[in-house]
Copies of this chain bind each other. A is one copy, B any other.
């Protein structure tokens, strides 16, 4: 029997998105728990690392187990979804390598988001746009080319590494980082092919539609509640 899964995160894409996508692509049932406004403050002290996402796994007949760290979650659900080659140690290592390289992309971006000093923030964004992101994307593009520019970062089929790349690209293309143009991901054809392959999956599109509908409904209910108050 499959384990029960609850993924807890904010009602944004962020660091939970590739975990949600892996579950959606694999058709693995899970509770997509998105915190309501104001819920975080009360929950934070109970979390394992004082941040989200957290995944709670309940195996039949056992006590629930909760763990943090989105890549640990991604690897775990990747097995359930058939998107992680756990039975091939060397292939698994190559997927792991990509997941960690993609964290090397995210880490300086997140650091710039947290920076509060406006001058330093601008400096960090400038470096990201001119240097750091092109450096990483160039290396990733080379590896995707070496893998045959086949729409996957590793091997011949979809893995969680592809979902992780898709998440970074999709997020950066929203253009919400001052100082980093939304075009920063352009010009890497083999990476583009990976993202297009993910975006084209029927289950990814259905998942995105589901989220959009849910958010529209929440907005409608909030407006109705406000009007009634």
**Are A89's CB and B111's CB within 8 A?**
no
Complex Cα distance, B88 from A79, in Å, reads 11
**How many copies of this chain?**
2
**Is the CB–CB distance between A90 and B69 below 8 Å?**
no
On chain B, the residues within 8 Å of A104 by CB distance are 49
Q: Does A68 sit at the interface, judged by CB under 8 A?
A: yes
Roughly how many angstroms separate A103 CA and B103 CA in the complex, as a whole number?
A: 11
Q: Which residue of the partner chain, among B97, B111, B139, B143, contacts A111 with CB atoms under 8 Å?
A: B111
Majority secondary structure of chain A interface residues (helix, strand, loop or mixed) = helix
Query: Out of B57, B97, B103, which one reaches A67, CB within 8 Å?
Result: B97
* Range, interface on chain A: 35 or more
Contact B67 A93 (CB under 8 A): yes
Determine whether A33 belongs to the interface, using a CB cutoff of 8 Å to chain B.
no
A142 → chain B closest CB, angstroms: 9
Task: Pick from A6-14, A70-78, A170-178, A200-208 the stretch touching chain B.
Answer: A70-78
Contacts of A89 in B (CB 8 A): 76, 79-80, 86
Check B71 against A101 for contact (C-beta < 8 Å).
no
7 contacts between A and B (CB under 8 A): A69-B101, A71-B100, A72-B96, A72-B100, A75-B92, A79-B89, A80-B89
